[in-house]
Amino acid sequence: MTDPLNDLREDYPGAALTEAEVAADPVVQVNAWLADAVAAGEPLANAMTLATVDDRARPSARIVLLKGLDGRGATFFTSYGSRKGTELAENPACAAVLYWPRLHRQVRLEGRAEKISAAESDAYFATRPPASNASAIASPQSQVIPDRKSLETRRAALLSQGRLDRPATWGGFRITL
């Protein structure tokens, strides 16, 4: 009997990566690879696995969306009251991985997460679709909810208000590299 997981194999065609082919600045290189991933049709090319640890040094990981990458670091947004938000407040050391299977590439980021300014978080929040903002406000991330209907009711009530301001409990983190 064969093991179905053991039978999952793939050849990785293409040339080997050499130092001569990569930019001296890792941020420039990762941004180039992000552009390659988008061009290759990678779904959610900016999705990254974020790993944090709790106050007992137990790791946890989840997917977040990379929304900025520059010389200051890698930026993502979340509820500060979520599990990741509270873990980063207690211990800012974290790691993230971007993986692009179509390109046979991955990038690991390691650093310390720090909250970005309220002004930066406000500016990003203002660019999001109203439905996304209503969902972000309505959802108590990492908390138990009574049922889905209560979440949907809260979201609908928020959407009926029109423009929504970013709550102080939601914003960005930047992983300094």
Rg over alpha carbons for the chain, rounded to the nearest Å, is 19
Strand pairing partners for 19?
A: none
- Grade residue 15 by pLDDT with cuts at 50, 70 and 90: low
Beta strands in 66-167 (DSSP E): 68-70, 73-79, 93-100, 105-115
10 Å Cβ neighbour count for 72?
14
pTM: 0.88
Q: Contact 78/88 with Cβ under 8 angstroms?
A: no
pLDDT for 4 beyond 70: yes
Q: Compute the average pLDDT of residues 69-91.
A: 96
- Tell me the per-residue pLDDT of 143-161, one tens digit each, with 9 for 90 and over: 777 878 877 777 877 878 8
